[in-house]
Copies of this chain bind each other. A is one copy, B any other.
């Protein structure tokens, strides 16, 4: 059993790794709440309970921290999406399930809504990241639509690019409505249902999607 302070040893390594994860979690919440531009490294370090230089040891700049947050989220989301696709869900079904999961985690939805809007400015450190992310997402969507057209599941007159962009835009825009509805009067938008309605219209096929119960390890909804 390691006993001494051993920054190089397994225990020190695990501790550093845990601290790093806590910083990423805290930054994820903070970037979502106030955006990247307004987020303060000092406040993030205070929330985690480490010193400001302690945080800088892990992430020398705010942009480094942002890159780590985005990479961390992408890895987690890609794993879940891949698991769905390997589990027999088709691409459209997997999208609806992704949105179902998002409805259990407002912090992540906030993060992407805030950052994607901020990062449209060419000088933003996540600008290229979001350009690439949208390129990849729209390309994947277009490829899916093209193969459905070929399979006769979507009308031959469908414009794959326009339809792909519309689906992605719809998913983004719904997040704003959903976040705004947190403390509003009246019923809140069901993002997964609106997406499903839209996909059924676009694809003109019946898509029976097994919408799962919220995963037990889902982040609790914040007020």
- Is A34 touching B37 in the complex (CB atoms < 8 A)? yes
- Is B162 touching A168 in the complex (CB atoms < 8 A)? no
Residues of B within 8 A of A6 (CB): none
Nearest Cβ in chain B — how far from A99, in angstroms?
12
Residues of B within 8 A of A134 (CB): 176-177, 180
Q: Within the assembled complex, what's the spacing in Å between the Cα atoms of A63 and B172?
A: 27
Nearest Cβ in chain B — how far from A167, in angstroms?
9
Name the residue on B nearest A116 (C-beta).
B176
- Is B120 touching A159 in the complex (CB atoms < 8 A)? no
Q: Within the assembled complex, what's the spacing in Å between the Cα atoms of A165 and B178?
A: 10
Name the residue on B nearest A112 (C-beta).
B117
Which residues 177-223 in A have Cβ within 8 Å of B in the complex?
177, 179-180, 182-184, 186, 189, 193-194, 197-198, 201-202
Residues of B within 8 A of A180 (CB): 116, 119-120, 127, 130-131, 134
Residues of B within 8 A of A198 (CB): 166
Name the residue on B nearest A137 (C-beta).
B177
Residues of B within 8 A of A182 (CB): 120, 122
Nearest Cβ in chain B — how far from A123, in angstroms?
9
Name the residue on B nearest A190 (C-beta).
B162
- For the complex, is A113 an interface residue (Cβ under 8 Å from B)? yes
- Is A197 touching B122 in the complex (CB atoms < 8 A)? no
Q: List 5 A-B contacts (CB under 8 A).
A: A110-B120, A113-B120, A117-B118, A120-B180, A166-B194
- For the complex, is A3 an interface residue (Cβ under 8 Å from B)? no
Nearest Cβ in chain B — how far from A128, in angstroms?
9
Name the residue on B nearest A202 (C-beta).
B201
Cβ proximity bits A39-82 to B, threshold 8 Å, 1 near / 0 not:
00000000000000000000000000000000000000000000
Q: Within the assembled complex, what's the spacing in Å between the Cα atoms of A33 and B127?
A: 13
Nearest Cβ in chain B — how far from A85, in angstroms?
23
